[in-house]
Amino acid sequence: MLKDVEITDCHSLESVKLSLPRLTTLTFSHSKGLVLENVPMLVNVTAGSEDDAISMAHVFYVLSFCISQLQTLCLKLFYNVVFAVHGVENDELCELPQMPKLKKLVIDYWAKGYESLIKLAALVNASPYLEEFDLQYRWFKHPMEDREVKDAVRIPHHHLKVFKFCGYYGRASDGELLGYILENCVTLEKIIIDPQDKETARNSAKQKLAPQVAQHIDLVIL
């Protein structure tokens, strides 16, 4: 019986139904017509690719019957799909299904370089037992200062131990998201910062972030 399935670069795919009792790992970049049925052992999912701007709503619709059992979730997100459609803000991350067994969340986020990242906190809030959050932040344009500072629902998180931020630049929204993690993740043990612009962003992290981090948290700036 199949345990690993990958469905990528299938742009002409009309529909596919997976009924695999032993399936544990699923990777897909095209959610149109994808139906999951009888996948009680599915715990690892990767959705999206650099070539396919997959919708968050579609991802969670496909995973609706198994979202509560997932332990690892990797999402490739694009600003124009997640936060805006035809220039209008949407709320795809405002109401998310609960993911009570999720331990590791990886977000590979492609942005324009100026929007706020605080909406990503909704994914943390939907995962009460999350232990590791890995954010890989990339941009299409050079990152500028944020247009608007946004807020997120503040929910104490008692299990997140490791937060990794690849692509840190030192903008206000970078610090905003990190501030949210520091304020709400009460058992945090380690923060890993991998700056995009090594010299400038590293200096920013040392000057702005380091003073905010409690002594018991291991701050690693690569």
Could you tell me if residue 11 is inside a domain?
no
Residue 86: per-residue pLDDT: 38
Q: DSSP letters of 16-66?
A: EEE--TT--EEEES--TTEEE-S-TT--EEEE--SS----HHHHHHHTTTT
Could you tell me if residue 1 is inside a domain?
no
Residue 131: per-residue pLDDT: 97
- Could you tell me the sign of the dihedral formed by the alpha carbons of 56, 119, 91, 110, in that order? negative
Could you tell me if residue 48 is inside a domain?
yes
Could you tell me if residue 170 is inside a domain?
yes
Range of the structural domain that residue 214 is part of = 18-221
Overall domain count for the chain: 1
Give 10-residue mean pLDDT values along the chain (222 residues): 84 83 91 87 89 74 92 84 45 74 93 74 92 88 53 77 91 84 93 84 83 91 88
CATH number for the domain harbouring residue 189: 3.80.10
